[in-house]
């Protein structure tokens, strides 16, 4: 009986053993590394398994344990939980983890820059203490002693710990700042910015306290070599609603609402506003303290520089937060703003310039008016607008200029070789074609050669001369067309040759040379820019090109109008001989086309200024580019393809080609036959 039980148990054990071998439910699923996705941990269970994402990752299904196919583990953004980092800290998410870092001006309680311990805190960084510890340790050095002495005076308010300095003493305190910044051996920008911030805070606070000590209401102005201070004090609340006070320090001014100064006080309260202009502070906190990351701008700007004096406005530290009415500041520019430049109204924010809550409400070449919703230290930045090249315009320019070069070459060959049409008119066309051909060729080859300033200036001056020469020949064409139409009854008048010999070449090439020579003499640096070898737009130098163009266009418009008037009055009186020489309809077409060729297409360039808004400006840019780069094509079409005599000559030349080919073939065949005979 016992033996039977043993056999039964043994058989059952064997059955279970073999079932576990062949049954998948008893196998370790986690031995297969593909059952769980990457960045997941496999856990085997009785008859099954499940996957768990590693710390810092979560499953795409949202489940903590999963074994579904297609589920993966993705990075978990711990920064979505606002409690993982302490106050005054920034959360930074990284793959599989995160770290906290204190905001600028704060340090962690254990000194670490990166941490994950939520028990740590971010405390305000004592920059003053840091500056003192850095520069005041080596007391045996005279330089360190001077820095410590000046820093101590700044820290204590110009050496007056409990007493308030007078406005005159404050206005004479600028040398304290220059002494500190000039003695900083490391020239650390952050330290210089902090010292400047400390100085500005002390000056504004001390000036406000000094203004409140005045016994009478009204304005007071202190003028020194480096600083101008003007104060306005009032007793109680404003007596006139919406009364605006204007304070000025010369070329700079501030307009502020009386209610901002008074702050809603009673008759017993005394209030004041202080406006300060610093003459040389811009050389210390200059355009190098500007970062695009700290500016809110809608367009791509570059090359920042201060273009005004630095000014400060304050009504006391408790009121400088956010005035109910914006405060307007007027700045005089140090340099005139040129084309493709834009002013930015900025204020000093701890260690850099920022334009938050400040914007320009008006500006021209000489001044800018800023409107700001808080009081602080302000200035005007000048920035260059980074022009974005339109790819399609570039393609149109290069393709159009290549077509014009081909057409101008064909037109020049036609004017030189087509004898039946050679006269004064074709000579004018030839010179115009040559000037435009060389100008277009030089434009394609050298407009971007800015590596060498000397070479770039030569290219710019040559282009200036060639384009002016082209317009001068256009002017001569307009004059000749006018004279031809006026003398329709005397088409072969003898003054044509005199006009050509005595006036044509000296005017066509001499006047542009004189203009370019005078322009280079008055402004030797007016040629070449940072991006193109062309005329510099600063200081109005572009008028050496625009002025002559405008004169030519106006004169040719007059020639065109008079020509149309003469055509209308005298067409009926033309005799048969003149009609054969010049078809009336062709004269009218030429007059209209001539006006277009003589520079009216350049008038579209006046619509490309910044005052013209989009999309009209873009439309004008395309129209200007297309009409001007295809001038060579227009010249070839009007003066060659639309000329009946030229078309006849073209046909003769084309008809001569087969004959020349046949003659060459016949000569070749004869020579071959003769050679065979000689060999025999």
Q: What is the CATH number of the domain that holds 326?
A: 2.60.220.50
pLDDT tops 70 at residue 102: yes
Note whether 446 and 562 are same-domain residues: yes
558-561 long-range contacts, CB within 8 A, separation 24+: 559/478, 559/479, 559/481, 559/482, 560/478, 560/591, 560/592, 560/594, 560/595, 560/598
Q: What percent of the chain has pLDDT over 90?
A: 13
Q: Quick one: pLDDT band at residue 240, thresholds 50, 70, 90? A: low
Note whether 216 and 68 are same-domain residues: no
Last residue of a domain, one of 34, 50, 75: 75
Identity of the highest mean pLDDT range in 111-120, 208-217, 530-539: 111-120
Which tokens in the block code for residue 677? 């005979």
| Residue 665 in domain | no
Q: Quick one: pLDDT band at residue 363, thresholds 50, 70, 90? A: confident
Quick one: pLDDT at residue 468?
92
Among residues 442, 428, 334, the alpha carbon closest in space to that of 381 is found at 334
Domain housing 118: 80-124
Note whether 300 and 250 are same-domain residues: yes
Note whether 612 and 483 are same-domain residues: yes
Quick one: pLDDT at residue 440?
92
Q: Would you tell me how many other CB atoms lie within 10 Å of the CB of residue 58?
A: 14
Quick one: pLDDT at residue 679?
42
Note whether 330 and 450 are same-domain residues: no
| Residue 650 in domain | no
Least confident of 63-67, 159-163, 365-369, 578-582: 578-582
Quick one: pLDDT at residue 538?
64
| Residue 194 in domain | yes
Quick one: pLDDT at residue 580?
40
Least confident of 203-212, 320-329, 642-651: 320-329
Last residue of a domain, one of 335, 366, 385: 385
Q: Quick one: pLDDT band at residue 534, thresholds 50, 70, 90? A: confident
Question: What is the rounded CA–CA span in Å between residue 343 and residue 381?
Answer: 6
Tokens 């163009």 found at: 549
Q: Quick one: pLDDT band at residue 600, thresholds 50, 70, 90? A: low
Q: Would you tell me how many other CB atoms lie within 10 Å of the CB of residue 540?
A: 14
Note whether 334 and 409 are same-domain residues: no
| Phi, psi dihedral angles at 326 (to 5 degrees) | -60, 150
pLDDT tops 60 at residue 365: yes
Last residue of a domain, one of 330, 361, 385: 385
**pLDDT digits over 437-492, tens only?**
999 999 998 888 888 888 988 999 999 999 999 989 888 887 877 777 776 544 44
Note whether 429 and 543 are same-domain residues: yes
Least confident of 217-226, 324-333, 423-432, 573-582: 573-582
Note whether 51 and 116 are same-domain residues: no
| Residue 660 in domain | no
Note whether 251 and 205 are same-domain residues: yes
Among residues 447, 468, 450, the alpha carbon closest in space to that of 519 is found at 468
Instruction: Return the CATH number at 578.
Output: 1.20.1070.10
Least confident of 102-111, 228-237, 251-260, 406-415: 102-111
Note whether 57 and 148 are same-domain residues: no
| Enclosing H/E stretch for 638 | none
| Residue 242 in domain | yes
Among residues 465, 485, 491, 680, the alpha carbon closest in space to that of 565 is found at 485
More confident residue, 594 or 305: 305
pLDDT tops 70 at residue 510: yes
**pLDDT digits over 5-47, tens only?**
555 555 555 555 445 444 444 567 788 888 888 889 998 887 7
More confident residue, 407 or 128: 407
- Across residues 352-359, what is the average pLDDT? 87
Quick one: pLDDT at residue 581?
40
Note whether 84 and 60 are same-domain residues: no
Quick one: pLDDT at residue 513?
93
| Residue 166 in domain | yes
More confident residue, 350 or 584: 350
pLDDT tops 90 at residue 174: no
Instruction: Return the CATH number at 88.
Output: 2.10.25.10
| Residue 8 in domain | no
pLDDT tops 90 at residue 640: no
Quick one: pLDDT at residue 311?
94
DSSP 270: E
Quick one: pLDDT at residue 27?
61
The structure's pTM equals 0.51
Note whether 58 and 117 are same-domain residues: no
DSSP 62: S
Quick one: pLDDT at residue 667?
45
Average pLDDT, the chain: 77
Contacts of 595 (CB under 8 A, 6+ apart): 556, 557, 560
**pLDDT digits over 269-326, tens only?**
778 889 999 988 888 888 888 877 778 776 667 778 889 999 999 987 544 555 668 8
Quick one: pLDDT at residue 275?
94
Map 144-207 to HEC letters.
HHHHHHHHHHHHCCCCCCCCCCCHHHHHCCHHHHHHHHHHCCCCCHHHHHHHHHHHHHHHHHHH
Query: Using N-to-C axis directions, what is the helix angle for 127-135 and 142-155, rounded to 10°?
Result: 160
- How far is residue 193 from each of residues 128, 317, 328, 374, 464, measured CA to CA in Å? 12, 20, 25, 21, 46
- Across residues 203-211, what is the average pLDDT? 86
Report the number of distinct structural domains present in the chain: 4
| Residue 374 in domain | yes
């Amino acid at each position: 009986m016992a033996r039977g039980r043993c056999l039964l148990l043994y058989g059952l054990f064997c059955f279970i053993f073999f079932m576990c071998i062949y049954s998948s439910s008893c196998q370790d699923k986690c031995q297969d590394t593909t059952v769980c996705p990457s960045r997941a941990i496999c856990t085997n269970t009785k008859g099954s398994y499940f996957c768990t994402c590693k710390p810092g990752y979560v499953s795409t299904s949202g489940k903590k344990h999963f074994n579904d196919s297609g589920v993966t583990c993705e990075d978990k953004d711990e920064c979505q939980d606002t409690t993982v980092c302490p106050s005054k800290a920034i959360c930074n998410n990284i793959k599989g983890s995160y770290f906290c870092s204190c905001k600028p001006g704060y340090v962690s309680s254990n000194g670490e820059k990166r941490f994950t311990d939520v028990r740590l805190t971010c405390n305000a960084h004592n920059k003053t203490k840091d500056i003192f510890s850095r520069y005041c340790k080596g007391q045996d050095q005279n330089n360190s002693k001077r820095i410590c002495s000046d820093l101590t005076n700044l820290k204590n308010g110009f050496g007056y710990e409990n007493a308030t300095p007078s406005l005159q003493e404050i206005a004479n305190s600028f040398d304290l700042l220059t002494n500190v910044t000039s003695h900083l051996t490391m020239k650390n920008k952050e330290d210089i910015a902090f010292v400047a911030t400390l100085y500005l805070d002390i000056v504004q606070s001390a000036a406000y306290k000094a203004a409140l000590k005045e016994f009478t209401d009204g304005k007071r102005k202190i003028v020194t070599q480096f600083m101008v201070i003007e104060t306005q004090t009032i007793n109680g609340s404003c007596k006139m609603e919406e009364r605006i006070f204007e304070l000025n320090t010369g070329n700079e001014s501030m307009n502020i609402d009386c209610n901002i100064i008074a702050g809603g006080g009673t008759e017993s309260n005394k209030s004041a506003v202080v406006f300060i202009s610093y003459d040389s502070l811009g050389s210390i906190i200059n355009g190098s303290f500007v970062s695009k990351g700290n500016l809110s701008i809608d367009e791509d700007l570059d090359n920042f520089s201060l273009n005004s004096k630095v000014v400060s406005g304050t009504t006391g530290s408790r009121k400088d937060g956010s005035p109910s009415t914006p405060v307007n500041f007027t700045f005089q520019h140090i340099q005139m703003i040129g084309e493709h430049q834009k002013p930015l109204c900025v204020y000093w924010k701890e260690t850099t310039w920022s334009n938050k809550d400040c914007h320009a409400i008006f500006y021209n070449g000489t001044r800018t008016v800023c409107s700001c919703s808080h009081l602080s230290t302000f200035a005007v930045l000048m920035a260059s607008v980074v022009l974005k090249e339109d790819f399609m315009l570039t393609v149109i320019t290069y393709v159009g200029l290549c077509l014009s070069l081909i057409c101008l070459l064909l037109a020049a060959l036609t004017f030189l070789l087509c004898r039946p049409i050679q006269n004064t008119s074709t000579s004018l066309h030839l010179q115009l074609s040559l000037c435009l051909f060389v100008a277009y060729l030089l434009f394609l080859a050298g407009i971007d050669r800015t590596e060498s300033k000397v070479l770039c200036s030569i290219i710019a001056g040559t282009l200036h001369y060639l384009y002016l020469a082209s317009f001068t020949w256009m002017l001569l064409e307009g004059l000749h067309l006018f004279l031809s139409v006026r003398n329709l009854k005397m088409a072969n008048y003898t003054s044509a040759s005199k006009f050509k010999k005595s006036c044509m070449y000296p005017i066509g090439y001499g006047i542009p040379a004189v203009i370019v020579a005078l322009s280079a003499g008055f402004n030797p640096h007016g040629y070449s820019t940072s991006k193109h070898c062309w005329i510099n737009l600063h200081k109005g130098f572009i008028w050496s090109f625009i002025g002559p163009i405008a004169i030519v266009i106006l004169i040719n418009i007059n020639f065109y109008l008079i020509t149309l008037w003469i055509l209308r009055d005298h067409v009926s009186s033309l005799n048969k001989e003149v009609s054969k020489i010049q078809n009336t309809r062709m004269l009218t077409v030429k007059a209209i086309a001539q006006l277009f060729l003589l520079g009216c297409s350049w008038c579209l360039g006046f619509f490309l200024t910044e005052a013209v808004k989009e999309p009209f400006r873009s439309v004008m840019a395309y129209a200007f580019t297309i009409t001007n780069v295809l001038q060579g094509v227009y010249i070839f079409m009007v003066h060659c393809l639309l000329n009946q005599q030229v078309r006849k000559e073209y046909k003769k030349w084309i008809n001569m080609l087969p004959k020349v080919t046949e003659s060459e073939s016949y000569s070749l065949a004869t020579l071959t036959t003769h050679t065979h005979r000689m060999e025999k």
